[in-house]
Amino acid sequence: MDNRVRIFDTTLRDGEQSPGASMNVEEKLLVARQLARLGVDVIEAGFAFSSPGDFDAVRRVAFEVEGPVVCSLARARPEDIDAAANALKGAAKTRIHTFISTSDIHLKHQFKLTRAEAKKRAVEMVERARGYVEDVEFSAMDASRTEPAYLYEVIEAVIRAGASTVNIPDTVGYALPEAFGALIKGIRENVKNIDGAVISVHCHNDLGLAVANSLAAVVNGARQVECTINGIGERAGNASLEEIVMILKTRKDLLGLETSINTEQIYPSSRLVSGITGMAVQANKAIVGDNAFAHESGIHQDGLLKDKSTYEIMRPESVGISRSTLVMGKHSGRHAFKERLKELGFELSGENLDKAFERFKALADKKKEVFDEDIEALVQDEVLRLEMPDRFRLGRLNVRSGTDTMPVAEVEMEVDGKTVKETGGGDGPVDAAYKTIAKITGTGSTLLKYTVNAITGGTDAQGEVSVRIKEGEHIVLGQGSHTDIIVASARAYINALNRLEHKKKERRENLVL
Ligand code: KIV
Ligand code: ZN
């Protein structure tokens, strides 16, 4: 059996299903380009039928990102398969990924289908997808809670119908490693035509076992792992790409398996995804957390100074952590800035580069030291925003506050291209600014969460503000950064309001299975 494990990245599809983590098309393209640099085999770029935004994302990733196979998800329904095919039509390396549940729990309560009907639909939709593309993946949703004999039957039938990858999801994160490994072994032993397809796994992390289950599957013959950067995804998330890849690399001695991942791109990928989605990476997260390579104990530090192998099983450089603490200052030139951006995962040119460089110079004037984190924040804050046709833009903001004065904000904004000014008060400077922005935009949203962090150390550090707002069904995130935290707060709020506008237009409601 071949020893290469294919990495199927679903950050842009399952990862995007993390509450509040939705990305616009330009953000998805940035992530997809980074995934190509990372060397993933397949990018699941979205679910073409689910919304015009997803359709567009699948299409643009398929046409504009070179290297990986680009895939669209599709329910086992003709309209989904057709939308996926349309989005991918004419692109170089494409895959349609169709799915239906196979567990009795799902068939009875959700799909209202018999086993025979579900199998028939799976076969018909694989055949339909094969009418459009060569590369078709079938997922038996909730496979880990499906009766194995029926699962084998479905897998055999879809391979006969033309599926070249069969995915075995642990949709609800219920499996235990030994049992999940045994399920994969059972599939290899009981499905007659299994050699005609790659076995894939897609594990959720509800019990914290997504990576362990994926690994057990690989040990038992799975050769594709579906995973996401930083493990983001529905509920507790998916198996984390960086953990899977570094386990296979670090323990190649035992596992004898490899991937095509350029591991030095892991850290830039992690930073990019966490910046864009606003989903912070916990400090003690394996591989990419702030503390993953930080040695605190004196005994450990002593050992490391004598020989790195005493306490380090991986080199930080091997995952792309070789960051100089101080990167640049106000004398740094445009070329050096562009190169640094590239190392951080952003390939900018033209107007985007000009705009980012302008912001960098302005920041370097205010701050003595500009760190990588500052650069990442300004790119996310300014450049990504350029790409979206935003309804609301912040013009001027002036706030008076202090111990002896009622906070008052004067805000000037552009709304649909027209300048609007308002003045308003509040309980504090941020509240005053937010109430005035709410008055100008007429938003009906409520603020769920507001957090502010200093991006780096020092009193001249930039403040990075994240907000989560809700209107009806929609929850969105907004981010903003600035050396003045009131300005950063206003930017974050306006960013969220713009995202809300996009989201309200985009999402096609009530998808039925
Ligand atoms: O978790 C799951 O089962 C899925 C499928 C659509 C593959 O995301
Ligand atoms: Zn999933």
Q: What are phi and psi of 135, to 5 degrees?
A: -100, 105
State the closest ligand 1 atom to the C-alpha of 141, by its place in the atom list counted from 1. Answer: 3
* 15 CA → ligand 1 middle, Å: 11
Amino acid at 244: I
Nearest bound ligand to the CA of residue 233:
2
Cβ atoms of residues 93 and 70 within 8 Å = yes
Q: What is the DSSP letter of 284?
A: T
pLDDT tens figures, 90-101: 999 999 999 999
CA of 54 to the centre of ligand 2 (A): 17
Does the beta carbon of 462 lie inside 6 Å of ligand 1?
no
Beta strands in 179-315 (DSSP E): 198-203, 224-227
Residue 196 to residue 506: CA distance in whole angstroms? 39
Evaluate if residue 507 carries a pLDDT over 70: no
Give the mutation target among 9, 11, 12, 14 for probing the ligand 1 site: most ligand atoms within 8 A of CB: 14
- The rounded percent of the chain whose pLDDT value lies above 90 is 67
Q: 77-81 long-range CB contacts below 8 Å, 24 or more apart? A: 77/49, 77/125, 78/125, 78/128, 79/49, 80/48, 80/49, 81/125, 81/128, 81/129, 81/132
From the CA of 146, the nearest ligand is: 1
For 492, which DSSP code? Answer: H
The arithmetic mean of pLDDT across residues 478-483, rounded, is 86
Pocket test residue of 71, 141, 167, 201 for ligand 1, highest count of atoms within 8 A of CB: 141
**Tens-digit pLDDT profile for residues 194-216:** 999 999 999 999 999 999 999 99
| 141 ligand 1 Cβ < 6 A | yes
**143 vs 452, residue with greater confidence:** 143
Query: If you measure from the C-alpha of residue 71 to the centroid of ligand 1, how many angstroms do you get, rounded to a whole number?
Result: 14
Q: At residue 505, does pLDDT exceed 90? A: no
Tell me which ligand sits closest to the C-alpha of residue 144: 1
**Cα 184 to ligand 1 centre (Å):** 17
Distance CA 487, CA 290 (A): 27
Question: What pLDDT does 474 receive?
Answer: 81
**What is the rounded distance in angstroms from the CA atom of residue 393 to the CA atom of residue 399?**
17
CA 174/CA 209 separation, integer angstroms: 9
92 half-sphere exposure, CB direction, 13 A CA radius = 9
* Ligand 1 in reach of 99 Cβ (< 6 A): yes
Question: For residue 62, what pLDDT is reported?
Answer: 98
Buried-exposed string 152-181: b where 16+ CB fall within 10 A, e elsewhere:
bbbbbbbbebbbbbbbbbbbbbbbebeebb
User: β-strands 6-9, 224-227: how paired?
Assistant: parallel
Q: Which atom of ligand 1 is nearest to the CA of 99?
A: 6
What atom of ligand 1 comes closest to residue 14's alpha carbon?
A: 8
Q: Evaluate if residue 386 carries a pLDDT over 60.
A: no
Of 166, 180, 204, best ligand 1 pocket probe by most atoms within 8 Å of the beta carbon? 204
Q: Where are the alpha helices (DSSP H) in 318-474?
A: 334-343, 350-366, 372-378, 384-387, 429-441
Is residue 140 within 6 Å of ligand 1 at its C-beta?
no
Q: Is 169 in the pocket of ligand 1 (CB under 6 A)?
A: yes
Kindly give the distance from the C-alpha atom of residue 279 to the centroid of ligand 1, in angstroms, as a whole number: 21
* C-alpha 22 to ligand 2 mean position (Å): 15
Report the DSSP beta bridge partners of residue 200.
167, 224
The rounded Å distance from CA 166 to ligand 2 centre is 14
The pLDDT confidence band at residue 276, using thresholds 50, 70 and 90, is: confident
pLDDT in tens, 290-332: 889 987 777 887 888 888 889 889 999 999 986 544 457 778 8
Q: What's the CA-to-centroid distance between 44 and ligand 1, angstroms?
A: 12
How many beta carbons lie within 10 A of that of residue 28, not counting itself? 27
Question: What confidence category does residue 351 fall into, taking pLDDT thresholds of 50, 70 and 90?
Answer: confident
Q: How far is CA 328 from CA 332, 377, 439, in A?
A: 6, 15, 40
Render 289-329 in DSSP notation, one character per residue: STTTT---SHHHHHHHHH-GGGT-SS-GGGGT----SS-B-
Residues with Cβ within 8 Å of 392's Cβ and at least 6 positions away in sequence, in order, are 413, 414, 415, 440, 441, 494, 497, 498, 501
Tokens of 358: 């302008």
Alpha helices in 109-198 (DSSP H): 115-130, 148-161, 177-190
Higher pLDDT, 422 or 361: 422
Residue 457 has pLDDT above 80, yes or no: no
Structural domains of the chain sorted by starting position, each given as residue range(s) with its CATH number in brackets:
6-277 (3.20.20.70), 294-384 (no CATH), 388-512 (3.30.160.270)
Record the tokens describing residue 126, joined without a space: 């694989």
Judge if the beta carbon of residue 139 lies within 6 A of ligand 1.
yes
CA–CA gap between residue 421 and residue 484 (Å, rounded)? 21
Indicate the pLDDT class of residue 388, thresholds 50, 70 and 90. Answer: low
Best of 8, 10, 42, 73 to mutate for ligand 1, by most ligand atoms within 8 A of CB? 73
Cα(470)–Cα(508) distance, rounded to whole angstroms? Answer: 18
Q: What is the Å distance from ligand 2's center to 231 Cα?
A: 11
Closest atom of ligand 1 to 172 CA is 1
Question: At residue 368, does pLDDT exceed 50?
Answer: yes
- pLDDT score recorded for residue 389: 67
Q: Which residues surround ligand 2, an ion (CB under 5 A)?
A: 14
Check: CB of residue 102 under 8 Å from CB of residue 168: no
CA distances from 20 to 207, 300, 452, 478 (A): 22, 39, 17, 9
The candidate with the shortest Cα–Cα distance to 273, out of 255, 285, 259, is 285
Helix (H) or strand (E) holding 81: helix 78-88
Phi, psi angle pair for 404, to nearest 5° = -115, 20
Cα–Cα distances in angstroms (integers) from residue 290 to residues 267, 320, 321, 461, 499, in the given order:
11, 13, 10, 18, 29
Q: pTM of this prediction? A: 0.83
pLDDT of residue 327: 58
Q: Which of 292, 275, 477 is nearest to 378 (CA)?
A: 275
Contact 15, 228 (CB under 8 A): yes
- Token reading at 503: 């989201």
Q: Which ligand is nearest to the CA of 137?
A: 1
Q: What is the mean pLDDT of residues 346-358?
A: 84
Q: Are 462 and 372 in contact (CB under 8 A)?
A: no
Q: Which pLDDT value is given to residue 509?
A: 46
Distance in Å, CA 168 to ligand 1 centroid = 9
Q: Name the residue type at position 355.
A: K
CB 411 within 8 A of CB 378: no
Strand, helix or coil for residue 403: coil
For residue 419, the model assigns a pLDDT of 96
Cα–ligand 1 centroid distance for 228 (angstroms): 13
Q: What is the mean pLDDT of the chain?
A: 91
Does residue 149 carry a pLDDT above 90?
yes
Give dist(CA 60, CA 308) in Å, integer: 44
More confident position, 402 or 300: 402
Rounded CA-CA distance 78/132 in Å is 12
